Amino acid sequence: MSKLITCKEAVKKVKSGSRIMVGGFGLVGSPLELIAALAKTEVKDLEIISNNLGEPGKGLGVLVRQKKVKKAIGSYFTSNPEVVKAYQDKELDVELLPQGTMSEAIRAGGAGIGGFYTPVSVGTKIAENKEERTLNGKKYVFQEPIKADFAFIKAKSADRLGNLIYNKSARNFNPMMATAADVVIAEVDELVEAGQLSPEEIVTPHLYVDYIVVKEGN
């Protein structure tokens, strides 16, 4: 069965209240066409797991402007002043995680690990209400794994099986997110035949990818 679908078909799978991981660091490595398609639907009360929430009117910032995001889990939201205002107006719930902690929590979710202890954030507001433990004389806080209903990820190329390669730093959070969601939808710049990608280049094996969307115009 072909994994190839359109953006419109892909976002129809998302329901209000869904938890969605979205790749990207700023707008780099972010599945912008999938986000734009989602913005045209009626879904709301979304929980978004992403490093940040785009920029004003760009990327995930569109969903924030539309008030479709109920909660955001990530590391760096202040680059979008509209996110700050939505939080101050109590329209958006925000859970901050140190960048490395978030990355590892997503990896743990994909690997079936029940959580981990980290010294990062000990003694800060981020660590409030989290389990704390002293190991070898050093304090740690417990971080639970992160999983989602959907992962919207961005890759440079896919073959028809769903094997993915990434473009340099656009790789960022995408490979980890591909392992930690029930349904993984990959937006790609190009689609090639099975066997055309070098096995040494493949970062995300096809078993993790449920659907492929080819960037419009490619």
The one-letter code for the residue type at 74 is G
Q: Is the pTM of this model over 0.85?
A: yes
* pLDDT for the residue numbered 98: 96
Strand 138-143 versus strand 132-135 pairing type: antiparallel
* pLDDT for the residue numbered 218: 54
* pLDDT for the residue numbered 216: 81
* pLDDT for the residue numbered 151: 98
C-alpha to C-alpha distances, 8 to 4, 39, 145, 214, nearest whole angstrom: 12, 11, 30, 12
Q: Are 62 and 39 in contact (CB under 8 A)?
A: yes
Q: Are 31 and 187 in contact (CB under 8 A)?
A: yes
Distance CA 140, CA 70 (A): 30
As given in the structure block, the two tokens for residue 23 are 């790749």
Q: Are 156 and 189 in contact (CB under 8 A)?
A: yes
Q: Which of 71, 4, 10, 70 is nearest to 35 (CA)?
A: 10
Distance spanning both ends of the chain, measured CA to CA: 22
Distance CA 115, CA 118 (A): 10
C-alpha to C-alpha distances, 31 to 23, 153, 162, nearest whole angstrom: 7, 6, 16
Distance CA 79, CA 77 (A): 6
Q: Is 162 exposed, middle or buried (0-12, 13-18, 19+ CB in 10 A)?
A: buried
The one-letter code for the residue type at 98 is P
Q: Average pLDDT per run of 10 along the chain, which is 218 residues long?
A: 94 98 95 97 98 95 97 94 96 96 98 97 94 96 98 98 97 97 98 96 98 84
